[in-house]
Amino acid sequence: MTTAIGVVMTENIVAGRLQDQRLTGKPLRYPDATEEVDALTAVPGSELVEKLGELIATLADDGAGAVDAIGVAVPGIIRSGVVEDSPNITQIKGMRLAEELTRVLTGKGITAPVHISNDADAIAAGVAATRGQLNKLTRVWTIGNGIGYGRWPYVEGVWEGGHITVTLDPKERFCGCGGVGHLEGIMGYRAMRMRFLDLEPEEVFAHAKQGDTRCREFVQLWHRALAAATASFIHLAGPGRFYFTGHNVAFVDLKELRSHLETMVKMSPLLSYSLEVLPNDDETALLGAGVSAIRALAS
């Protein structure tokens, strides 16, 4: 029997205790009951680490026994416990998060090893675990303030799929990292707000359904960009199942996405791909963070 604590820090922080790949009890959340997509952007990095420590300590001290591992998933380029970059939570860029969090937890009497992973990779691990497919390739697009590309099993690499270039238009400069032509610069929630200063992203998609030409053209661009990025990974790593989830997954129209993808992938050995939308689910992400930590402990 293994016990882990999984934590995911994206639009907000969610933490849960896991017993043998099952969530036990109600997850903890910070800030409480918020729907803001950028609730953490103004919180200093040191305060975020302290808050992570508080949530983990609360779950570790619930009287249910010792914790074997702690998995924390955050957006950005993560290597060896270091957040090398994180365009959507910029205050943690360069932070030795595993080391800093271990220090905070040690001060609270918690000695379980800490494993830091990319948030999209954690969701891919969670999806694979819930389907009993931890031995199979699982790929996930997470659609929120940023755009993440998750892959399980984990292999060494950057895997910042949200920053893949999908257009050569020099006017496409809305990506949070400052790069031109990136997928996130079209699909990301903050990027859409910057593009449509007079409309919220939800209004853009609603107006598109009502026939508004400007909004409809953008929604087509949005789906073409996602299709282009997906096609690139099919051409690099082969076909298979792609999952779509995240805070804004409701924007995805699978029929439209598939129609664009069919124009981009033509080689017959690559046509056996499939697309599936998953509801935005904290439990899957928490499970993946915990699974990643347990697997790292065993390796």
Domain chopping of the chain, boundaries: 3-119, 124-277
Q: Which two tokens stand for residue 51?
A: 């808050």
Q: What pLDDT shows up at residue 36? A: 66
- How far apart CA 223 and CA 257 sit, in angstroms, is 5
Count of CB atoms within 10 A of residue 270's CB?
14
Query: 18 with 290: CB under 8 angstroms?
Result: yes
pTM, two decimals, is 0.90
Q: Which two tokens stand for residue 201?
A: 């992203």
User: What spatial distance separates the first Cα and last Cα of the chain, rounded to whole Å?
Assistant: 17
Name the CA dihedral angle for 222, 225, 229, 232, rounded to a multiple of 10 degrees: 150
Q: What pLDDT shows up at residue 48? A: 97
Alpha-carbon dihedral sign for residues 199, 205, 209, 213: positive
Topology of domain 124-277, CATH: Nucleotidyltransferase; domain 5 (3.30.420)
Q: What pLDDT shows up at residue 205? A: 98
Tens digit of each residue's pLDDT, the chain (299 residues): 689 999 999 889 999 999 988 889 889 999 986 566 678 888 999 999 999 999 999 999 876 678 999 999 999 999 999 999 998 899 999 999 999 999 999 999 999 999 999 999 999 999 999 999 898 999 999 999 899 999 999 888 889 999 999 999 999 999 999 999 999 999 999 999 999 999 999 999 999 999 999 999 999 999 999 999 999 999 999 999 999 999 999 999 999 999 999 999 999 999 999 999 999 888 999 999 999 999 888 77
Q: Which CATH architecture has domain 3-119?
A: 2-Layer Sandwich (3.30)
Q: Count Cα atoms within 13 angstroms, Cβ side, for 87.
A: 19
Same fold, 3-119 and 124-277: yes
Query: 289 with 117: CB under 8 angstroms?
Result: yes
Name the amino acid, one letter, at 55: L
Long-range contacts of 110-113 (CB under 8 A, 24+ apart): 110/56, 110/57, 110/60, 110/67, 110/70, 112/5, 112/60, 112/66, 112/67, 112/68, 112/69, 112/70, 113/69, 113/70, 113/293, 113/296, 113/297
